[in-house]
Structure 1
């Protein structure tokens, strides 16, 4: 319906330009926000991983400290070895200190000491069960920031275990090595922070803005922040490029499709000229012996843009555009090309079913077309069966004359897809035909307990009274084949026998195992 407006190339170009522009804006915006969404998801994953990593570290450290709490009741000489060993095997721990009566009595680094803990670490509140602070350094490493962590003994309020921890953000950076536009990480304790952006501790107001993500540990008052760029030039350029590509493709494709719609007949003729049509062959077997007696020739269209186009669509299209005659002539030429190879694998007298539309049957060139086609095939080898469709009504007097001529010329005639058109019984009443091809709709209904099976019985009875051979199309299951054979159908065609095959596939085709076993029965 939209093609009615595009009556000139200029209007087509304008319309396609705006279509491409709209698609470009839409696709560019979607790409931009999709990139933003993916980055946000990556940052969510990153902060969660960091939260779990640091939380697990403090949980393991708490477990180690719990095992040291009973040692505060012992002499330093007795427990120093265990204290030193525990510190050595605890990641990033500088030292453990045992505290009793608010006095540091033993260190994993220096051994026996006797210093008030408030003088040693005034930043830590030892009256609380848990206290943590950031230190600019420790006596042994005065230039290296550290975390001071205090856990009070659960049984003695004036005792506990104190530890100092190296501030090492390298493991955390490993999480972010592949993150685009990542800037840095900060670990915040109290009103001070240690960050990858500085070698020393900084106050909170010195941290960069904005913050991409923030997470706070559940068991320890530690906050983690990550920083990243919010928008980048690369994202914007990529979104613009993607939008332009989509817009140009949409505009070009729209123009191409509109051009085809404005000249639909040209599309069929172009397809013929460029060899886009090809033929496939579907075997037809004798219902009693399941041996191949012939084939049906089917035309296919592989469009370079739309892909495989259904036969019903392009055949009806060709009929509507008065192009069924050149299309059928092209079909004849494709068959003539394959005939020598088909002759090598098909016996003399093999049936060769070819669809003929009523529009071609009544064309002035029909007789000459059939003579030329028959003369181009290997002489006296194939028995041509013209399958007449029911889409259009036949002209009775002219059709009778044509059918009589066809029989005199040695052609046989079949009604194709019997029962689907508006003229089925009229065909049987007025015309002399050789075969009745039962539509797949009747075959598919076998075994479904519908009214179709009685109708199919009636069709078969009628065909026998008229001395017409019957061909069942669309046979797909052994049950359908068995029913049809029991009810006297003469020939079978369908996927149970074989799907339509290209020439090379048809030459190599052999009956399947079920066909051989069926013949034996």
Structure 2
């Protein structure tokens, strides 16, 4: 019945799933972007390193070539040995060629020669201070691509130094081949390119894919393209796995937190803390004199959004959630707070009927709780009657000494809703009770042609033989009250007398049922 007001299981499950999905999505995306950022940083670092390395290399190469420029004025025989030595100790240089009048006349590899440079490298422009070209090979290494570079001598017309350079030994080419995220690298000069995807020269329009990074060297007409994968399989799988684990962890944590925060048990504790519970008082009158002799104290819950919660709903749930003790202690606190004002309208010795659940009766703190409750009331004014519902299961071995202790401490005991449970006669046989409260079901049948009235007669006869005081609940009509009074019922309680009332209304209450009984 309580789930009618709080569908917590659905709320908790839905909230946990949504939290898990949200965290999984956020964490997965975060991991994707983190991997993306790291990859971008690696790309930036690599392209910068490549540019710095290549610019440094060509700067050193130009320094070496500047020392060779004066050799153009000498004969090949005079400079050949020095030229060969310089080529041997220059990194990746295949050969140096001295050029005069646009004719190559000396090679560090083959010695003296007489070949127009335009025949060797038609694409080079010797009128430029620096020009470059990609070669599919050289005479000494015809199948290994190389870079051809021309450095003009500004002092000698048609003179300068031509150099062929290996490019297959560049360390960064080997480095990128070992990285999963790097797809390759391409060196571009003019319209020709050499890439790690091919062992031969290709036109730049035949390069596959779009470069992730591209840079052009500062002093030479050479461009470097870097290619990389958008996502690697490992990064995608790791991001998905990370998102999944994070989502499961978040969902589990959310379920735990929401189970505590959104559970009806939490609602009950919160309601106690926020003062949502209040008490009402239903008068109990002496059947013979029709004078008020006490009240039954009932707890009510006014939820801020759900409104009034039926007592059966929250009391049964409090028992199931093992919260009946704090709920009853809160009831004691509310009664103790109202007691000074109740004392002004209730006579000395007035009965205060309070319901006690088995879960509290058998709690370790029960005796201390009862002593504190008794001490919170005005001394020697109220008689506390603990009402134990006969439908509730109690531990009979523990209950007997507890009942004896209660009666010794000055508390009285009533069996509530008698005749509606499974063990009415057993209770009467084994426990000493002070009051027997007749269930409203028997009272409602008075005056009807049912078998209830003979049963009610038998209950009253049994109570008299056991010397128990009887209280009839649910009295709603004068006819019921008359019948009960004629048959010796000691006390009456019900709407005919009054509905349960908040303290303020109870303090102003004046009985009008006497007129109905006359």
What TM-score results when the alignment is normalised by the length of structure 2?
Answer: 0.51
Distance change >3 Å, CA 259–CA 396, structure 1 → 2: closer
Report the alpha carbon displacement of residue 264 of structure 1 after superposing the two structures with TM: 2.5
- Tell me what 1:433 maps to: 433
What is the distance in 2 between the residues matched to 1:396 and 1:374? 25
What is the distance in 2 between the residues matched to 1:479 and 1:12? 60
What is the distance in 2 between the residues matched to 1:294 and 1:2? 39
- Tell me what 1:418 maps to: 418
What is the distance in 1 between the residues matched to 2:352 and 2:18? 46
User: Does 2:8 correspond to 1:9?
Assistant: no
Report the alpha carbon displacement of residue 306 of structure 1 after superposing the two structures with TM: 1.3
What is the distance in 2 between the residues matched to 1:362 and 1:391? 16
What is the distance in 1 between the residues matched to 2:476 and 2:261? 37
What is the distance in 2 between the residues matched to 1:12 and 1:515? 62
Secondary structure (helix, strand or coil) at the match of 1:448 reads: coil
Report the alpha carbon displacement of residue 4 of structure 1 after superposing the two structures with TM: 6.1
- Tell me what 2:514 maps to: 515
- Tell me what 2:283 maps to: 283
Distance change >3 Å, CA 401–CA 307, structure 1 → 2: same
**Larger-gyration structure (1/2):** 2
1:162-205 residue CA offsets vs partner (Å, 9 max, x unmatched): xxxxxxxxxxxxxxxxxxxxxxxxxxxxxxxxxxxxxxxxxxxx
Distance change >3 Å, CA 501–CA 274, structure 1 → 2: same
Taking the TM superposition and a 5 Å limit, the aligned residue runs for 1:229-268 are 263-268=263-268
- Tell me what 1:310 maps to: 310
Report the alpha carbon displacement of residue 397 of structure 1 after superposing the two structures with TM: 2.0
- Tell me what 2:401 maps to: 401
1:373-428 residue CA offsets vs partner (Å, 9 max, x unmatched): 00010000000100011343221121110010011111100001111122211111
Secondary structure (helix, strand or coil) at the match of 2:344 reads: helix
Taking the TM superposition and a 5 Å limit, the aligned residue runs for 1:80-119 are none
- Tell me what 2:384 maps to: 384
Report the alpha carbon displacement of residue 313 of structure 1 after superposing the two structures with TM: 1.0
What is the distance in 2 between the residues matched to 1:263 and 1:282? 31
What is the distance in 2 between the residues matched to 1:455 and 1:498? 26
Unaligned runs of 5+ in 2: 1-6, 23-254
In the alignment, is the contact (CA less than 8 A) between 1:260 and 1:267 conserved in 2? Answer: no
1:41-75 residue CA offsets vs partner (Å, 9 max, x unmatched): xxxxxxxxxxxxxxxxxxxxxxxxxxxxxxxxxxx
Report the alpha carbon displacement of residue 350 of structure 1 after superposing the two structures with TM: 0.4
Taking the TM superposition and a 5 Å limit, the aligned residue runs for 1:315-394 are 315-394=315-394
Q: How many residues align structurally?
A: 278
1:74-97 residue CA offsets vs partner (Å, 9 max, x unmatched): xxxxxxxxxxxxxxxxxxxxxxxx
- Alignment RMSD: 2.3
What is the distance in 2 between the residues matched to 1:5 and 1:388? 35
Distance change >3 Å, CA 372–CA 489, structure 1 → 2: same
In the alignment, is the contact (CA less than 8 A) between 2:8 and 2:264 conserved in 1? Answer: no
- Tell me what 2:486 maps to: 486
In the alignment, is the contact (CA less than 8 A) between 1:358 and 1:394 conserved in 2? Answer: yes
In the alignment, is the contact (CA less than 8 A) between 1:290 and 1:516 conserved in 2? Answer: no
In the alignment, is the contact (CA less than 8 A) between 2:351 and 2:385 conserved in 1? Answer: yes
In the alignment, is the contact (CA less than 8 A) between 2:355 and 2:387 conserved in 1? Answer: yes
Distance change >3 Å, CA 321–CA 259, structure 1 → 2: closer
Distance change >3 Å, CA 443–CA 8, structure 1 → 2: same
What is the distance in 2 between the residues matched to 1:426 and 1:308? 36
